[in-house]
Amino acid sequence: MSFLNFFHSQETLSLIEWILRAIIAFFFLLIVAKVMGQRAISQLRLLDFVIALVLGNIIAHPLSDEQLGMKGSMITTVVLVVLYTGSLFISLKFTLIDKFLDPVPFPLIKDGEINYNGLKKARITIDHLLAELRKDKVEDIKKVALAMWESDGKISIFLNPKFEALTPATYQMQLEPFDLPKTIIKEGKIDFSVLEEKNVEEEWVIHNLKSIHQVEVSNVLLGTVDSNNNLKIFLYK
């Protein structure tokens, strides 16, 4: 059909045909990402990195070269997605394949001492290790009971218990359960679904703002309410 010519290879493409190619590729990749799942997006392990690298090249070329059709790229992408999901399923069934795709973690620091062989295996420098410790607010290697190199390239750090921060649990203190406030006002607009959930009226919010904070709803960037109906607001600055 003539209106699908942009889908196939051509000598030249019009502006509209380029736009249509980009739109189809965009939504096609959204569907592919949805099928592949959240893991492929959030954690680039060995298999994830390979598939992301290959898919990017396959789809990018037809979007920049009118002489390449999209049909071949989309078929190849579907095949790769099937191989990807199949590899994940097989890795769940067979330990050896799982260990190849997701290697067993190994220590970089143990009992306050650096494991140099671990650094060489992970192919990272001392500076990189120190940077990761700083990200976890650890200034002294001697405080680290265990630092593990994970298969996704991240470092899990566990402090020696005597250097752990004291918490209410240490003193067996009874605290109120965690309460996540609800966003009741966002960018000057009231969320009426939260009003209904909290069983309060719009007038309650307006009165609260005027009597306690002396502001209008339109002045509020963010307003939250907790389980005790305490309203906290953040104004435009």
Sheet holding 155-159, edge to edge: 113-114, 106-110, 144-149, 155-159
Domain map of the chain by residue range? 2-98, 106-163, 182-235
Q: What is the CATH number of domain 106-163?
A: 3.30.240.20
* Residue 164 DSSP symbol: S
154 confidence band (pLDDT: 50, 70, 90): confident
Return the amino acid letter for 33: A
3-state SS class at 224:
strand
Task: Report the alpha-carbon distance of residue 132 to residue 155 in Å, rounded.
Answer: 7
The answer to whether domain 106-163 and domain 182-235 are alike in fold is yes
Is the entire prediction scored with pTM above 0.75? no
C-alpha distances out from residue 225 to 53, 183, 234, Å: 44, 7, 12
Q: What is the CATH number of domain 182-235?
A: 3.30.240.20
- The first and second tokens of residue 134, run together, are 């700083």
Q: Helices marked H in the chain — which ranges? A: 15-36, 38-42, 46-64, 70-93, 95-101, 116-122, 126-135, 192-198, 202-208
183-231: pLDDT as tens digits: 999 999 999 999 999 888 999 999 999 988 889 999 999 999 998 889 9
Least confident of 112-116, 176-180, 204-208: 176-180
